[in-house]
Chain A
Amino acid sequence: MIQFLELELTNFAIYPKASFKFATDPERPLTVIRGENESGKTTLVRAFLWVLFGSKGIQEATDNAYALRPVWVKADESVTTKVKLSFRQMKSGKTVAFNLVRTLTSKDAKNARLSDDKVVLARQEAGGAFKPMSEAAVETLHTIIRPEMRDFYFIDADKAVDFVGGSEANHSDQLMRSMIGKSIRALLSLDTLRSASERVQDQRNQFVRDIAALNRGAMGTNQQQALINVESEIEKLKKQIPTAKAAFTNADETHRLSDEQFSTMIKELEMASKRAVDGKKFRDNRDRLNVRRRQLVHQLAEYAPGAALAAAILSPTLKAIIDRLEPMKEKGHIPPHELEVIPRLIKRGVCLCGTEISEGSPAADKLTAILLEARKTESGARFLDGVLNLATRHKLFGAKAVRNDPITAIKKELADLDPEIGELSAAITEVEKTAAAEGGKQAEASEMKRDIGEKLAQRDTFRDALIRLQNELEKLETERRSHQESIRLAAGRSDKVKVLQASERAADLVKSVVQAAYERVESDQVADVSKSMTNLFSTIVGQTEDGLISEVGLRTTGPASNLPEYELFARYQNADKPLKLINGASRRALSVAFVLALAEQTGTRVPLVTDSLLHSTSGEVRKRLVDFLAKGKRIGQPIMFGTRADFQSPEVRTVLDQFAGATYTLTAQSHVGADVVRADPNREQSNQVSICNCSPRQYCAICERTGDASTTDLSSKSRGS
């Protein structure tokens, strides 16, 4: 159960700052707020609605929050409007206090938006401080004080006739049924049962759909056959794979061995290449030695029949020539000196010995004879002189050659060279022999490389074939798993169908139970409300069986299978009396009776705020209404708004004196004049409402100006204080 504790308003419409504390004393449960028309009662109800429901509580067509802005604030002035509702919740013997604060800051009248509001729900902690709760808490609050039920919680008597179908002139059974149905379904928890029934029905329908879907996915015989086919293919492949694997393994091993042999051969060829380098060195050395040897051989060959040896060999011959010719030379026969000397002597005419040589002299004749004789052998003498010179030169040359004897040195060098050249040649021969063998290996290596390439290609072919088989196997196994899964799922679906069918049956059963409960609750509670309404109507209106309305109540209408509708009824002489024929006062009484009966029957958990409930009711009816609200403890916290006239009768005042725990009087300038309102020390503007705690029997210096202060039963407060 929720009890309002206090409502604080700041800059709300005509309220600059106001605070209303509500009665919570079980012995004096009534809160009475008195005020003439246009004094701020409905505005106060609007403050309740706004703080509780925000924009949903303000029935405005637009988002404009103009109605909330203080009337004294200029249109272009920024202002913050704030309403704070303090309440407490009592549940399971535990009481928790809450503050619900809603604020709205508007920069100007034009841009005042209801949706710009901010709301905070705070919960009182153990130490007394209030701690803000999450936004979700406000939603939770709305499950208790439901926005759509605001017209029920906050009854405006002028609007309450909607429960009966509206005003007499514009009666609508549809409006009546809508309003009645909404309230009943919410407050009697029929909605809960109905929605439970609907949920069960929905769930049952879902079961049916699921069963249909599962049946659609049921396994066909062809899937089983497909599985058999796939398994057959798998068996075939499994038989092929070992052969393919063996072929690949063999090819791989063959390739590996060939590769190893090839590597060995390559190493050997590398060694051969190294040896070839050595061989080249040998050949170079040998070539160099051979060049030298050729030079030596050529030198030696020169001596075979050469000039020096020839001269030496002919040494005896040459000696003989020299021996023969030298005496001739010594004698002056060679060369023929006479041929040079005698002509000169003859020309001079004197011999070397001093003998005169003149022509015709014997000396001259003798010399001439010598000269003639010499001229005969001149060529021979000159030739032999040349021969002597030649023989002498060759003899000397030959002798020198023998002495120097270069042949021995040449032969020695040749003798040293020859073995070295022989060794090099042998080494070269060996290298060349190896090279020749390795040349064969080179060819063999090329052949082997080509063979390895073929083996590799063959291995790759086997490998590809194996991979293809393995891929095919994997694909088939996946297909097999898919078939198996499908079959398994189908089997599972079969099981699930059974479960769902059982669930469907259970849902049917639950639905019938809920439906029965619903019907029972509906039947019982509607009957109770109806009975209570008749009692209240009789009590409030004082109607009798002999009156124009003998019975009122609530009943269902429409088929039970659909959402039932509810309607109020009135009977006269065991016959229905159309509601549209019921006059204004009775309509109001009927609507109030419905509301109060429903509140009483359901033990409403929230306060009941009534505005102008006593309007247009006679004095006795008013007393009974007030009496019911004050004493009827089966409804929530009653907060009554009314005019001075509503509370004027002595009987009502007597009840209020006894049961009103909190009283307030609202006074506006329209009733007492702006100057009077301004006289209120708490007021700054003339268009602000003035609030006092005067009870319906009391008047203060402000509210007394409303015109009723002259009555004799005024309290001392108004006059004296």
Chain B
Amino acid sequence: MDISFLTARQHDLRLPKAIKDKALASFVSNQPIGPHRPSDDAPFRRMYDFWFASILWAEYKDLSPVNGAATEKFVSAGPTTSDAKLEDWMLELLLLIAVHRLKFDVNTLPDPTQVFKLANELAAVGAPSLIEALGNCLDLMEPQLYTTVALFREAASA
């Protein structure tokens, strides 16, 4: 299935500002400015990895998207070279989540804007929960990556 239509035009990826700053400070290894942080301590390579993980966490926790939350764009996904190139499997899963949440049928075709709007809303609700979960699982003797993977593995096995 060709899902390139989702990024045929630019879509902002957004997170609540405080969450975004915290994520950048604690969980993302590839920093937009500054040195690359070790994967052990920053389990998410890119900011949109954390963003996508937040969506997954919200879906896992079956959290309801927050409409109108104060969010801030951290990057855009789109066709230009300056846009983030989300992997196909990410776009496919975002589409599936949207199909599931928005109840598309044969009469209503998905709108990419709706898909990314839902994604940002899920991220906005999932990110704080994810950070909290990671904070709850924090073992000072174990790297954060291991904790994160363990957390997601637990989620996957649930």
Contact = CB atoms under 8 A, between A and B. Distances in A.
B77 to A, nearest CB: 15
B53 A304 contact: yes
Given A300-B145, A411-B149, A307 B87 contact: yes
Given A377-B107, A383-B110, A384-B106, A305 B95 contact: no
Q: Which of B52, B92, B97 has the most CB of A within 10 A?
A: B92
Nearest to B87: A307
A318 B52 contact: no
B58 to A, nearest CB: 10
A320 B109 CA distance: 18
B85 to A, nearest CB: 15
Interface string B17-36: 00000000000000000000
A312 B107 contact: no
A313 B122 CA distance: 15
Interface string A386-409: 110111001000100110010100
Contact of A297 (B39, B59, B157): B39
Contact of B44 (A305, A381, A398, A411): A305
Interface string A295-307: 0011011011101
Given A305-B53, A314-B59, A383-B110, A401 B96 contact: no
B63 to A, nearest CB: 13
Given A321-B99, A384-B105, A384-B106, A314 B149 contact: no
Contacts of A405: 153
B148 interface: yes
A249 interface: no
A104 interface: no
B148 A321 contact: no
B137 interface: no
B145 A311 contact: no
Contacts of B49: 304-305
Contact of B52 (A310, A377, A391, A394): A310
Contacts of B127: none
B74 interface: no
Contacts of B140: none
B152 A313 contact: yes
Interface string B38-59: 0110011100011011001001
B155 interface: yes
Q: Which of B93, B145, B146 has the most CB of A within 10 A?
A: B93
A309 B60 CA distance: 11
A405 B53 CA distance: 19
Task: Name the prevailing secondary structure of the B interface residues.
Answer: helix
A334 interface: yes
A384 B110 CA distance: 10
A414 interface: yes
Q: Which of B105, B107, B156, B157 has the most CB of A within 10 A?
A: B156
Contact of B106 (A308, A311, A377, A390): A377
Contacts of B150: 407, 411
Given A334-B106, A387-B95, A320 B100 contact: yes
A221 B89 CA distance: 127
Nearest to A334: B106
Contacts of A307: 87, 89-90
B89 A300 contact: no
B136 interface: no
B146 A300 contact: yes
A387 B53 contact: no
Contact of B1 (A298, A320, A387): A387
A451 to B, nearest CB: 46
Given A380-B107, A391-B96, A317 B59 contact: yes
A402 B152 CA distance: 11
A379 interface: yes
A317 B52 contact: no
A333 interface: yes
Task: Name the prevailing secondary structure of the A interface residues.
Answer: helix
A668 B92 CA distance: 176
A562 to B, nearest CB: 135
B108 A298 contact: no
A320 B98 CA distance: 12
Q: Which of B40, B110, B149 has the most CB of A within 10 A?
A: B149
A707 B128 CA distance: 191
Given A305-B152, A411-B149, A310 B89 contact: yes
A513 to B, nearest CB: 133
B156 A297 contact: no
A314 to B, nearest CB: 6
Nearest to B43: A304
A405 B40 CA distance: 20
A65 to B, nearest CB: 132
Interface string B55-76: 0100110000000000000000
Interface string A112-134: 00000000000000000000000
A304 B59 contact: no
Nearest to A384: B106
A365 B82 CA distance: 55
Contacts of B155: 309, 312-313
Contacts of A321: 96, 99-100
Contacts of A411: 146, 149-150
B46 to A, nearest CB: 10
A307 B88 CA distance: 10
Contacts of B95: 387, 390
B152 A303 contact: yes
Nearest to B89: A307
Contacts of A300: 39, 145-146, 149
Contacts of B93: 310-311, 314, 394
Contacts of A407: 149-150, 153
B157 A402 contact: yes
Interface in A611-651: none
Contacts of B96: 314, 317-318, 321, 387, 390-391, 394
Contacts of B109: 379-380, 383
A317 B97 contact: yes
Nearest to A410: B149
Contact of B43 (A301, A383, A387, A401): A301
Contact of B40 (A297, A314, A384): A297
A424 to B, nearest CB: 17
B55 to A, nearest CB: 9
B149 A303 contact: yes
A227 B106 CA distance: 140
A636 B104 CA distance: 186
Given A305-B44, A390-B1, A394-B92, A380 B105 contact: yes
A339 to B, nearest CB: 12
A414 B59 CA distance: 30
Given A321-B100, A394-B93, A305 B107 contact: no
Contacts of B106: 328, 333-334, 377, 380-381, 383-384
B104 A384 contact: yes
A477 B83 CA distance: 104
Interface of A: 297-298, 300-301, 303-305, 307-315, 317-318, 320-321, 328, 333-334, 377, 379-381, 383-384, 386-387, 389-391, 394, 398, 401-402, 405, 407, 411, 414
12 contacts: A303-B149, A305-B53, A305-B56, A307-B87, A311-B89, A317-B96, A377-B107, A383-B110, A384-B99, A386-B1, A387-B104, A402-B156
Given A309-B152, A407-B150, 13 more contacts: A300-B149, A304-B53, A305-B50, A305-B52, A307-B90, A308-B156, A310-B90, A312-B155, A321-B96, A334-B106, A377-B107, A384-B105, A387-B95
